[in-house]
Chains A and B, each alone.
Chain A
Amino acid sequence: MTDRLADTLLRLAARIAPSERRPWIEAVRAEADLIGDRSEALRWAAGGLLAAMGWAARKDLVFLAALAFMGYCGLLWVQDIYLQAAVAKGAPFLDAAVASQIWCYLPISALFAAWRPDRAVVVGALMPLFAWIVFVRSLLMGIPSQWSFDLWCLYESTKYVFVGTALGAVVGWALRRAVPKRPTTD
């Protein structure tokens, strides 16, 4: 029986993978089912998820953009480490640095939502993910000054993401209504 977490990863992989590649994810799942060691099965499943992400990125530009965004979040995460250090020292440039970081959410979420308004909800949910992760992490670390700061960051990011996603989705839908669909050739 596949480990529950490994099974979840592979279910996610099957959702992400393009339809013609789903049998390959089933193949990964069948092998994962036979791996006795839990951590090894998890690694195997994580590999399946990575493969699915690679296939999806080649097929779907939106997914590729989402991956790029996750990379961007990774960069912000690194930056956040320096910001946390700055909080501890009370550095004066902090507000401007955080504000500029949060302001990035608005145009990015607007562009994503305008590009694929049918996925605006996904965009809206994904965008503040980084802020959530940082907040939960600081909660777990148990330093009140950090988690109150991160809660503020989360509130600000969510606000800008909401505005950006809503604006983008409205513009995207309006554009799609205004521009007629190209006829398909076959």
Chain B
Amino acid sequence: MPAAPRRLSPQTLEVLTALEGGAGDWLYGLEIAAVTGLKSGSLYPILARLADHGLLEDRWVESDRPGRPRRHAYRLTGAGRAALRAARLDPAAFKLGAAPA
């Protein structure tokens, strides 16, 4: 189901910036939370929304310790990097999910 365009919140911008700081590496939720200071209750809805809009890709990573659950890792897509650039240029006008101008 396509989500309606919505203004980018400062928290979402922080998450995008944190993912950009990963320089293409896969980051885990705890790492993003440590960088942004966001709690899980705010972080995961943002990550889910960004994934819905194709701005980040996610994958499951097997734990190196047996018996531990797989971890979910994230990194920016090309669209995510473009969205971040656009949002930095004009944060007030940028809307998540809106067609690019």
- Interface residues, chain A, with chain B CB atoms under 8 Å away: 21, 23-24, 26-31, 33-35, 43-51, 54-55
List, sorted by A's number, 30 A–B pairs whose CB atoms are closer than 8 Å.
A24-B48, A24-B72, A26-B69, A27-B71, A29-B69, A30-B63, A30-B69, A30-B71, A30-B72, A31-B29, A31-B30, A31-B33, A31-B40, A31-B72, A33-B68, A33-B69, A34-B71, A43-B40, A47-B39, A47-B42, A47-B43, A48-B41, A48-B44, A49-B41, A50-B41, A51-B40, A51-B45, A54-B41, A54-B45, A55-B48
Q: In the assembled complex, which residues on chain B have CB atoms less than 8 Å from the CB atom of A55? A: 45, 48
Contact pick for A51, options B30, B33, B44, B70, CB 8 Å: B44
Q: How far, in angstroms, from A171 to B69 measured CA to CA in the complex?
A: 46
- Interface residues, chain B, with chain A CB atoms under 8 Å away: 28-30, 33, 39-45, 47-48, 63, 68-72
> Are the CB atoms of B71 and A24 closer together than 8 Å?
no
Q: In the assembled complex, which residues on chain A have CB atoms less than 8 Å from the CB atom of B29? A: 27-28, 31
Q: How far, in angstroms, from A30 to B69 measured CA to CA in the complex?
A: 5
Helix, strand, loop or mixed for chain A's interface? helix
Kindly report which residue of chain A lies nearest to residue B31, judged by CB atoms: A31
> Are the CB atoms of B39 and A26 closer together than 8 Å?
no
Kindly report which residue of chain B lies nearest to residue A29, judged by CB atoms: B69
Q: How far, in angstroms, from A33 to B56 measured CA to CA in the complex?
A: 24
Kindly report which residue of chain A lies nearest to residue B45, judged by CB atoms: A51
> Are the CB atoms of B42 and A27 closer together than 8 Å?
no
Q: Which of B40, B63, B69 has its CB near the most chain A CB atoms (within 10 A)?
A: B40
> Are the CB atoms of A31 and B41 closer together than 8 Å?
no
Q: In the assembled complex, which residues on chain A have CB atoms less than 8 Å from the CB atom of B43? A: 47
> Are the CB atoms of B44 and A47 closer together than 8 Å?
yes
CB distance from A125 to the nearest CB of B (A): 25
> Are the CB atoms of B30 and A27 closer together than 8 Å?
no
Q: In the assembled complex, which residues on chain A have CB atoms less than 8 Å from the CB atom of B72? A: 23-24, 26-27, 30-31
Q: In the assembled complex, which residues on chain B have CB atoms less than 8 Å from the CB atom of A30? A: 63, 68-72
Q: How far, in angstroms, from A148 to B10 measured CA to CA in the complex?
A: 51
Kindly report which residue of chain B lies nearest to residue A50, judged by CB atoms: B41
Not counting A27-B72, A44-B40, a sample of 18 additional A-B residue pairs whose C-beta atoms are within 8 angstroms of each other reads A24-B47, A24-B48, A24-B72, A26-B69, A27-B71, A28-B40, A29-B69, A31-B28, A31-B30, A31-B72, A47-B41, A47-B42, A47-B43, A47-B44, A48-B41, A51-B45, A54-B45, A55-B45
CB distance from B46 to the nearest CB of A (A): 10
Q: How far, in angstroms, from A55 to B46 measured CA to CA in the complex?
A: 11
CB distance from A52 to the nearest CB of B (A): 9
CB distance from A114 to the nearest CB of B (A): 29
8 A-B pairs with least C-beta separation = A47-B40, A47-B41, A27-B72, A50-B41, A30-B69, A31-B29, A30-B71, A47-B39
